[in-house]
Amino acid sequence: MADTDRKDRAEVEVPMGMVHSALLEPFRIRLFVDDEVVVDAEITYDTAHRGIERIMEGMPIQKGLILTERICGICSHIHIWNGTRMVERGLGIDVPQRAHHIRVIGNELERLHSHLLYLGHAFEILGHETFSMRCFMVREPVQNILFVLSGNRVHYTIPVLGGIRPRADISHEKRQTMFSMIDKLETDLREFAARVLNDPFIVSRIKEIGYLSKEDAVKYGALGPNMRASGIDFDWRYKLPEYRDHFDFEVIVRDGGTVLDRVACRVFECLESIKIIRQALETLPDEDPTNVDFELGAMGYSTSYNEAARGEIYDSCALDEVGRIRSYINRTPSMSSLSAMEVSCIGDHLTDASITIASCDPCLTCTNRMTVVDEKKGTNYVMEPEDVLRLARRV
């Protein structure tokens, strides 16, 4: 978002990345600094492009959905769930409530391990290595619970069209084991959360930096905890029947808009995730978790929204007459959140800017989508909306 006037007024430009010890992902930052204060910023990201959407073109939908889980190793479940949900909506496939409950459990466990991973990296950037290591110690049981649920610690592959995989079903013994593990996790997490939010070093370091107003959060498209930390009360889980009709939980909203608020949002969301998991285990319906009474065929464009750990995720595609993918689109929240951080770090001291940008929890592997090379226009031209539509929809 670098502004020409602000750039011209700056005394010096400080580049960071693509690889830098203070960055969690491979992107490039240009900080325009005047007397150690950031007056403008510009973030560039495209080095992790893998072309997944193009690779999926023409794939059988079952194979393509497995590939969506490989978009990211941290938020893998939400990708395959949202893609599966999109196709189920488009083809009118009924899904048993037991399967919905287990999918929700997977999503909330993934939210837990994603937020705890974020906090561990955040404390490392701040220089608090003890808290960083303790955070990973708290996260480890979450991975173990995911292993009990699905048989994997990464890429759990829980959903299939019409339900869940048999190995992800929850027997009585598995349910009791998960209850026991959740009880201990909640105790450890509450103790750790209290220490984090009352630690004088952590709080003093992040409480007045990275301010993102409610208006700027809307203007620049912040999503998820970054949006809710600026006072916007919105969470897709409250709109989805899988959540809304079955679970009682609180959307964590804070008005401060600072790095501290973004950290606190994720800390409290971890506790809400445990609440949802416990309710899902307690009310798990006794029924077959998978419906196989459907046929694949032509499907017009279907869409699905969901709430990933980092915010809104969107999937869309169509199917041909034999169930092969046409124009798969997957949109993740990091690109919008990083754009919001460009304005958020203006006014920070140089040493605080990297903390502010990292506070949005960026994930580049599931963000980069497209590199355009046009021999007539070159590579550095601004695409018009109709150009993007033409490439995305093949129209």
Asked if residue 386 has pLDDT above 80, the reply is: no
- CATH code of residue 149: 1.10.645.10
Alpha carbon distances (Å) from 272 to 107, 159, 247, 248, 281: 12, 23, 11, 9, 14
Q: Examine the domain organization and report whether 12 and 156 are in the same domain.
A: no
Q: Examine the domain organization and report whether 22 and 70 are in the same domain.
A: no
Total structural domains in the chain? 2
pLDDT band at residue 127, thresholds of 50, 70 and 90?
A: confident
Residue 394: predicted pLDDT: 40
Q: Examine the domain organization and report whether 166 and 228 are in the same domain.
A: yes
Q: Examine the domain organization and report whether 163 and 136 are in the same domain.
A: yes
Domain assignment present for 328: yes
**Cα 359 to Cα 353: distance, rounded to the nearest angstrom:** 10
Residue 393: predicted pLDDT: 44
Domain assignment present for 323: yes
Domain assignment present for 354: no
Domain assignment present for 137: yes
Residue 384: predicted pLDDT: 65
Asked if residue 385 has pLDDT above 70, the reply is: no
Q: Examine the domain organization and report whether 148 and 187 are in the same domain.
A: yes
**Cα 96 to Cα 159: distance, rounded to the nearest angstrom:** 12
Q: Examine the domain organization and report whether 28 and 120 are in the same domain.
A: no
Please give the residue range of the domain that contains residue 175.
52-346
pLDDT band at residue 73, thresholds of 50, 70 and 90?
A: confident
Cβ proximity of 228 and 234 under 8 Å: yes
Q: Examine the domain organization and report whether 296 and 381 are in the same domain.
A: no
Asked if residue 307 has pLDDT above 90, the reply is: yes
Asked if residue 105 has pLDDT above 50, the reply is: yes
pLDDT in tens, 27-64: 788 889 988 899 888 887 766 666 788 888 899 999 99
Q: Examine the domain organization and report whether 18 and 94 are in the same domain.
A: no
Residue 395: predicted pLDDT: 36
Residue 354: predicted pLDDT: 83
Asked if residue 341 has pLDDT above 90, the reply is: no
Cβ proximity of 329 and 345 under 8 Å: no
Residue 50: predicted pLDDT: 67
Domain assignment present for 226: yes
Residue 382: predicted pLDDT: 61
Mean pLDDT of 311-326: 94
Q: Examine the domain organization and report whether 199 and 215 are in the same domain.
A: yes
**Cα 355 to Cα 204: distance, rounded to the nearest angstrom:** 13
Domain assignment present for 356: no
Q: Examine the domain organization and report whether 286 and 374 are in the same domain.
A: no
pLDDT band at residue 377, thresholds of 50, 70 and 90?
A: low
Mean pLDDT of 87-103: 96
Q: Examine the domain organization and report whether 229 and 136 are in the same domain.
A: yes
Q: Among 158-172, 232-246, 346-360, which is the least confidently predicted range? A: 346-360
Asked if residue 294 has pLDDT above 90, the reply is: yes
Residue 360: predicted pLDDT: 86
Residues in CB range of 93: below 8 A, 6 or more apart: 87, 161, 162, 291, 294
Q: Examine the domain organization and report whether 109 and 166 are in the same domain.
A: yes
Domain assignment present for 237: yes
For a pLDDT cut of 90, what percent of the chain falls above it? 59
pLDDT in tens, 165-198: 999 999 999 999 999 999 999 999 999 999 989 9
Mean pLDDT in the chain?
Answer: 87
Asked if residue 149 has pLDDT above 70, the reply is: yes
Domain assignment present for 265: yes
**Cα 158 to Cα 143: distance, rounded to the nearest angstrom:** 15
